[in-house]
């Protein structure tokens, strides 16, 4: 396949996108830090909000402009059945609880603790970044542009795996890489079957808001749900109940995806034409 006319991006181009994001984040981070020092701003949350969103917007613009060279329709927002919305909420919450023992088993370095505390600040800027703009921008980039391009070049398994890997790596620390990679696999599969950003944005928002609210309500030092249960037996029951919900919601998800696959596929082709 001629790379000049191949769907964008491929793996090599995705790594370039990732490098551009790092460079933009570092550059804007230094600028925001310098402004904080010069003007003595005590609240760094507005600066973090602006820096993150500007970095993401620039990277999305770069990737989107390159994607437009191969396809007029880049981002897909196909409609989903109403029953999908509550199912996605249940699936996401149960999946987050199901992953809790895994993340709890990983040692948390001090720099990750500081990062998590920064992402749990009790102000509107942090909530907007974590719960609203972050999920939208990241899904547009990782599923809407990167995975969409991968699916046009590679097998679905390879495309979903590498988009999830890059999404996990995007968080820049091992403690968030594993859950990021796993939920990236889930969102990648759902995007592949629906060709819609709506369900993956919902999943991302619910997951982030759930984590934010836990730390907002119970404090910045709560890194695992097990810390919320004085009696360990209650946590085990809670975990088992969530695991059952996760299995059931996954089963229902597969049924709905199979039932509506033809309508989503036809709508995706219509929107791409």
pLDDT tens digits, residue range 80-124?
888 899 999 999 999 999 998 887 777 777 767 777 777 778 889
On the question of pLDDT at 155 being above 90, the answer is yes
* Cβ pair 164, 155 in contact under 8 A: no
* Cβ pair 58, 24 in contact under 8 A: yes
Q: What is d(CA 236, CA 101) in angstroms, rounded to the nearest whole number?
A: 10
Quote the pLDDT of residue 218.
82
Quote the pLDDT of residue 4.
62
Q: Residues 47-56: what's their mean pLDDT?
A: 89
* Cβ pair 200, 83 in contact under 8 A: no
* Cβ pair 63, 131 in contact under 8 A: no
Quote the pLDDT of residue 71.
66
CA angle centred on 185, ends 150 and 70, rounded to 5°: 15
Locate 110 and state its tokens: 């001090």
Quote the pTM value: 0.90
On the question of pLDDT at 23 being above 70, the answer is yes
Nearest to 203 by CA among 181, 189, 183: 183
On the question of pLDDT at 17 being above 50, the answer is yes
Q: What is d(CA 167, CA 172) in angstroms, rounded to the nearest whole number?
A: 10
On the question of pLDDT at 27 being above 90, the answer is no
Q: What is d(CA 225, CA 213) in angstroms, rounded to the nearest whole number?
A: 12
Band of residue 273 on the pLDDT scale cut at 50, 70, 90 = very low
Q: What is d(CA 213, CA 238) in angstroms, rounded to the nearest whole number?
A: 18
């Amino acid at each position: 396949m001629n790379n000049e006319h191949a769907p964008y991006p491929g793996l090599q181009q995705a790594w370039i996108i990732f490098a551009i994001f790092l460079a933009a984040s570092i550059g804007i981070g230094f600028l925001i830090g310098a402004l904080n020092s010069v003007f003595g701003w005590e609240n760094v949350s507005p600066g973090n909000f602006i820096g993150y969103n500007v970095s993401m917007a620039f990277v999305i613009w770069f990737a989107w402009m390159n994607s437009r060279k191969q396809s007029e329709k880049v981002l897909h927002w196909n409609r989903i059945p109403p029953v999908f919305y509550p199912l996605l909420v249940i699936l996401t919450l149960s999946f987050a609880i199901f992953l809790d023992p895994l993340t709890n088993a990983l040692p948390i370095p001090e720099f990750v603790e500081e990062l998590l505390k920064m992402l749990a600040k009790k102000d509107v800027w942090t909530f907007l970044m974590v719960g609203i703009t972050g999920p939208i921008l990241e899904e547009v980039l990782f599923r809407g542009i990167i995975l969409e391009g991968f699916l046009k070049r590679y097998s679905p398994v390879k495309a979903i795996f590498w988009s999830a890997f890059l999404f996990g790596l995007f968080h820049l620390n091992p403690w968030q890489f594993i859950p990021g990679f796993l939920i990236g696999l889930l969102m990648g599969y759902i995007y592949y079957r629906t060709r819609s950003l709506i369900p993956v944005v919902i999943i991302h928002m619910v997951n982030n808001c759930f984590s934010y609210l836990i730390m907002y309500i119970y404090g910045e030092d709560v890194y695992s749900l097990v810390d919320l249960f004085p009696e360990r037996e209650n946590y085990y029951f809670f975990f088992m109940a969530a695991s059952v919900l996760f299995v059931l919601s996954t089963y229902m998800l597969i049924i709905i995806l199979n039932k509506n696959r033809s309508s989503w596929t036809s709508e995706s082709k219509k929107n791409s034409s």
